């Protein structure tokens, strides 16, 4: 019994020595400054929103001039003078107008509201008709807000935007919605490989297989690829070359394909990813 007491005292004394060494080697934490000591006029400088250059560096999607709204008419072939044929998409500019301009110097927010098309006033609520009347414009089929870097890049209100807003040979980005495919399996949704179609496997050919271990981890991890709704998501197509513009027909021809069915209304902007050859 005495032997146990001696050992316990020895261990307890060693623990006290180690604890005293830890206390001696610790450093005092810096004192926190109370919020009352920060002047209200300097609080904006301390926040992220006060540094406009920092915002622009982090948000590369903010262009120098606002984008526009256009409608996808379909796809066709474009022939050059030397006989080359390119797959292209035809976009329509139908009454694209700048209906509003917003300038917020405190948040460094400069936006233009762009309207597309025309809508029957009988299908518009009276509150919205009052808003359009105050803006001195007709009801629009769709509106979107575009942000620019500086207020010098804003367009004046009630100005009509034509396809010549984009020059031939320049590059644009298109933001549209993918076609909705409904509830689909893992083969179409995630491009899984089919299971072997022999040796008695008949009913699970298009199944995904096992989800994981039974005892360990005994659960399905979040984000596991399964069957579900496919499509109807926003998609951005970068670096589409402008092949032709026609202000008389109000059409813009871009090289390549865009997401979405015919008739979808999409957002066009100047390209933000220019690759040097």
Per-residue pLDDT reduced to its tens digit, 225-260 = 999 999 999 999 999 999 999 999 999 999 999 999
Are 98 and 136 contacting, i.e. CB atoms less than 8 angstroms apart?
no
Its pTM stands at 0.73
Considering the four listed CATH numbers 3.40.50.300, 3.40.50.450, 3.30.160.810, 3.30.70.1140, the one that applies to the domain covering 94-161 is 3.30.160.810
| Residue in this structure with the two tokens 């035809």, named with its chain if needed | 90
Nearest CA among 165, 158, 134 for reference residue 69: 165
Q: Does pLDDT of 20 surpass 70? A: no
CA distance 189 to 29: 53
CA distance 157 to 178: 31
| End-to-end Cα, the chain, rounded Å | 85
CA distance 150 to 258: 29
**Residue 61: its pLDDT value, please?**
75
Task: Quickly list DSSP for 77-108.
Answer: EEE-TTS-EEEEEEEE--S-EEEEEEEETTTT
Phi, psi (rounded to 5 degrees) for 71: -115, 135
3 state DSSP class of 46: helix
**Residue 58: its pLDDT value, please?**
52
Are 171 and 240 contacting, i.e. CB atoms less than 8 angstroms apart?
yes
**Residue 48: its pLDDT value, please?**
43
Q: Which residues pair with 70 in a beta bridge?
A: 266
Rounded to 5°, the CA angle 9-12-18 comes to: 140
**Residue 51: its pLDDT value, please?**
52
**Residue 174: its pLDDT value, please?**
96
Mean pLDDT in residue range 8-35: 46
Structurally, at CATH architecture level, domain 71-93+163-189+229-277 sits in: Beta Barrel (2.40)
Instruction: List the domain boundaries for the chain.
Output: 71-93+163-189+229-277, 94-161
Q: Does pLDDT of 37 surpass 50? A: no
Mean pLDDT in residue range 197-203: 90
Are 111 and 148 contacting, i.e. CB atoms less than 8 angstroms apart?
yes
pLDDT tens, residue by residue, 202-211: 889 999 988 8
**Residue 31: its pLDDT value, please?**
45
Q: Which residues pair with 180 in a beta bridge?
A: 231
pLDDT tens, residue by residue, 61-74: 788 999 999 999 99
Q: Does pLDDT of 13 surpass 80? A: no
As a 3-state breakdown, the chain gives helix, strand, coil percent values, each rounded to 5, of 25, 30, 45
Mean pLDDT in residue range 253-277: 89
Instruction: For residue 163, give the DSSP letter.
Output: G
Mean pLDDT in residue range 20-35: 44
Return the percentage of the chain with pLDDT > 90, whole number: 65
pLDDT tens, residue by residue, 103-143: 999 888 999 999 999 999 999 999 999 999 999 899 999 99
Q: Does pLDDT of 168 surpass 60? A: yes
Band of residue 49 on the pLDDT scale cut at 50, 70, 90: very low
Q: Does pLDDT of 12 surpass 70? A: no
For residue 96, whether the previous peptide bond is cis, meaning omega lies within 30 degrees of 0, is no
CB neighbours of residue 135 within 10 Å: 17
């Amino acid at each position: 019994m005495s032997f146990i007491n001696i050992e316990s005292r020895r261990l307890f004394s060693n623990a006290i020595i180690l604890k005293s060494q830890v206390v001696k080697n610790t450093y005092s934490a810096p004192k926190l400054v109370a919020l009352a000591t920060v002047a209200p006029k300097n609080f904006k400088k301390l926040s992220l929103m006060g540094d406009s250059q920092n915002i622009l560096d982090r948000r590369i999607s903010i262009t120098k001039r606002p984008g526009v709204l256009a409608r996808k008419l379909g796809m066709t072939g474009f022939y050059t003078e030397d006989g080359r044929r390119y797959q292209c998409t035809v976009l329509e500019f139908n009454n694209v107008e700048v209906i509003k301009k917003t300038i917020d110097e405190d948040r460094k927010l400069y936006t233009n509201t762009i309207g597309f098309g025309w809508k029957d006033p009988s299908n518009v609520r009276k509150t919205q008709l009052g808003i359009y009347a105050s803006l001195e414009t007709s009801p629009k089929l769709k509106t979107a807000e575009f942000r620019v870097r500086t207020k010098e890049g804003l367009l004046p209100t009630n100005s009509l935007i034509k396809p010549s807003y984009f020059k031939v040979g320049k590059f644009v980005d298109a933001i549209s919605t993918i076609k909705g495919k409904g509830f689909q399996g893992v083969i179409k949704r995630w491009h899984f490989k089919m299971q072997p179609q022999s040796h008695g496997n008949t009913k699970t050919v298009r199944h995904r297989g096992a989800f994981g271990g039974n005892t360990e981890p005994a659960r399905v991890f979040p984000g596991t690829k399964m069957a579900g709704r496919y499509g109807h998501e926003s998609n951005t197509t970068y670096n589409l070359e402008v092949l032709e513009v026609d202000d008389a027909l109000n059409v813009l021809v871009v090289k390549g394909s865009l997401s979405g069915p015919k008739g979808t209304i999409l957002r066009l902007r100047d390209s933000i990813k220019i690759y040097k050859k």
